[in-house]
């Protein structure tokens, strides 16, 4: 059989790392400029001041980026939300159900540390909340479901904080199951980034939202499948739509180091901060610490756990060197 050499055109967009040729990929790919056109007549309901407040440290999202990426994305998500309401009503008719139970539309947001998950989640929360029907939108992060530091230390997991085994998976599944079942006043634990620990006795209460945004490093992480075929739920089983924030490994490294050095000059200076000791180091010593944390914890987690979940997402936002989205991949229907 005659072998042919693949050309640059055959390889498809740089984002397509899941299939040798784009036509075999489960995704459709769009440049940021093409994606911006899907905004249609979606109004801009955010101000520059609000965008600045919603953006994470060192994340240069502005109104132009909201127009380019997030208005189209909020329009798409709202369309999926409305479609899910229609399907729900049809199921009620199918089952001859007389009592309606409010079932929230759940959006999962995944990606590495320092890649901009929190900014994306907060922007979508506000944009979706301001659609004309004014849906009730809540945002929860997985940080609160980390085991307390006391347990992590006892189990030797402090150096694996953020890895799948550092989370109380049972609590995560119970929480999402209760939300998806339409239960009232579901409580979730609260995490403090100042003390770097779960806050004892403090909870956030989620009361039947129309839309829940669930953000975290490993929310698309599957579990080992049992050989006996018994049902094993994944967190993503409760999602109606999932988003992965993506970027080259080298870029995420640079953003992580820059954020750490910025925090050294700000939040770490608080004596109550878990990382206060780093604020007293020289710049070179602090940078060495940051490089060690990246290499020994965050990079390992990215390669072993987070990046392998990327092809499970419904939509992938790929960022470029300026921290702004340059390509969008949307799973085909």
In degrees, rounded to 5, the angle at the alpha carbon of residue 237 between the alpha carbons of residues 231 and 238 is 125
Number of domains in the chain: 1
Report pLDDT for 17. Answer: 52
Asked whether residue 15 carries a pLDDT value surpassing 90, the answer given is: no
Indicate which CATH number applies to the domain containing 117: 3.40.50.300
104-137 pLDDT, tens per residue?
Answer: 999 999 999 999 999 999 999 999 999 999 999 9
pLDDT level of residue 139 (50, 70, 90 thresholds): very high
Strand-pair category, 315-319 with 325-331? antiparallel
- pLDDT at residue number 97: 82
Beta-bridged to residue 246, according to DSSP, are: 318
pLDDT in tens, 32-78: 999 999 999 999 999 999 999 999 888 889 999 999 999 999 999 99
86-95, 133-142, 167-176, 225-234: which has the minimum mean pLDDT?
Answer: 225-234
- Inform me whether the pLDDT recorded for 199 exceeds 80: yes
Establish if 38 belongs to a structural domain.
yes
How does residue 87 score in pLDDT terms, banded at 50, 70 and 90?
Answer: very high
Does an H or E element contain 80, and which?
Answer: helix 71-94
Domain around 213: 26-322
Q: Is residue 238 part of a domain?
A: yes
pLDDT at 229: 83
Does 9 map to a domain?
no
- Average pLDDT of the residues in 224-249: 91
Annotated binding site for ATP: 111-118
Q: What is the rounded CA–CA span in Å between residue 328 and residue 32?
A: 7
Asked whether the predicted pLDDT for residue 274 surpasses 80, the reply is yes
Q: How confident is the model at residue 3 (pLDDT cuts 50, 70, 90)?
A: very low
Residues 209/188, Cβ–Cβ less than 8 Å: no
Residues of the binding site: 111-118
- pLDDT score of 20 more than 50: no
**47 inside domain:** yes
The model's pTM is 0.91
Q: How confident is the model at residue 228 (pLDDT cuts 50, 70, 90)?
A: confident
Q: Residue 16 domain-assigned?
A: no
Q: Which residue, chain included where needed, has tokens 């199918």?
A: 94
Q: How far apart are CA 11 and CA 204, in angstroms?
A: 47
pLDDT band per the 50, 70, 90 thresholds, residue 226:
confident
Residue 7 lies in a domain: no
Q: Is residue 144 part of a domain?
A: yes
- For the chain, what's the residue count? 333
| Residue linked to tokens 């390669």 | 303
Joined tokens for residue 121:
């989640």
- At residue 9 the predicted structure's pLDDT band, cuts being 50, 70 and 90, is very low
- What is the structure's pLDDT at 18? 47
| Residue 178 tokens, joined | 């209760």
For all residues of the chain together, what is the average pLDDT?
A: 91
pLDDT at 224: 79
Q: Is residue 6 part of a domain?
A: no
| Rounded-to-integer distance, Cα 100 and Cα 102, Å | 6
Q: Minimum mean pLDDT among 19-28, 179-188, 259-268, 324-333: which range? A: 19-28
């Amino acid at each position: 059989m005659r072998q042919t050499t693949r050309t640059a055109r055959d390889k498809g967009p740089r984002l397509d790392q899941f299939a040798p040729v784009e036509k075999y990929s489960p995704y459709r790919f769009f440049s940021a400029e093409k994606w911006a056109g899907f905004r249609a007549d979606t109004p801009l309901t955010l101000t520059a001041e609000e965008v600045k407040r919603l953006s994470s440290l060192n994340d240069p999202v502005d109104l132009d980026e909201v127009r380019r990426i997030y208005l189209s994305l909020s329009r798409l998500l709202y369309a999926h939300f409305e479609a899910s309401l229609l399907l729900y009503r049809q199921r009620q008719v199918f089952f001859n159900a007389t009592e309606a139970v409010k079932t929230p539309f759940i959006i999962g947001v995944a990606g590495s540390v320092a890649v901009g998950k929190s900014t994306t989640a907060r922007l979508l929360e506000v944009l979706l909340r301001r659609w004309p029907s004014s849906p009730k939108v809540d945002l929860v992060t997985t940080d609160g479901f980390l085991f307390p530091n006391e347990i992590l230390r006892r189990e030797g997991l402090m150096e694996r904080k953020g890895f799948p085994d550092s989370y109380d998976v049972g609590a995560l599944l119970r929480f999402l199951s209760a939300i998806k079942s339409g239960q009232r006043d579901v409580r979730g634990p609260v995490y403090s980034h100042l003390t770097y620990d779960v806050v004892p006795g403090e909870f956030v209460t989620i009361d039947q939202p129309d839309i829940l945004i669930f953000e975290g490093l490993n929310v698309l992480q599957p579990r080992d499948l049992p050989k006996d075929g018994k049902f094993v739920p994944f967190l993503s089983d409760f999602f109606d739509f999932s988003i992965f924030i993506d970027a080259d490994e080298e870029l995420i490294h640079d953003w992580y180091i820059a954020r750490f050095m910025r925090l050294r000059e700000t939040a770490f200076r608080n004596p109550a901060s878990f990382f206060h000791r780093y604020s007293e180091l020289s710049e070179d010593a602090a940078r060495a610490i940051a490089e060690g944390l990246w290499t020994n914890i965050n990079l390992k987690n990215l390669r072993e756990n987070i990046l392998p979940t990327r092809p499970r997402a419904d939509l992938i936002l790929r960022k470029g060197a300026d921290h702004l989205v340059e390509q969008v991949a949307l799973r085909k229907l």
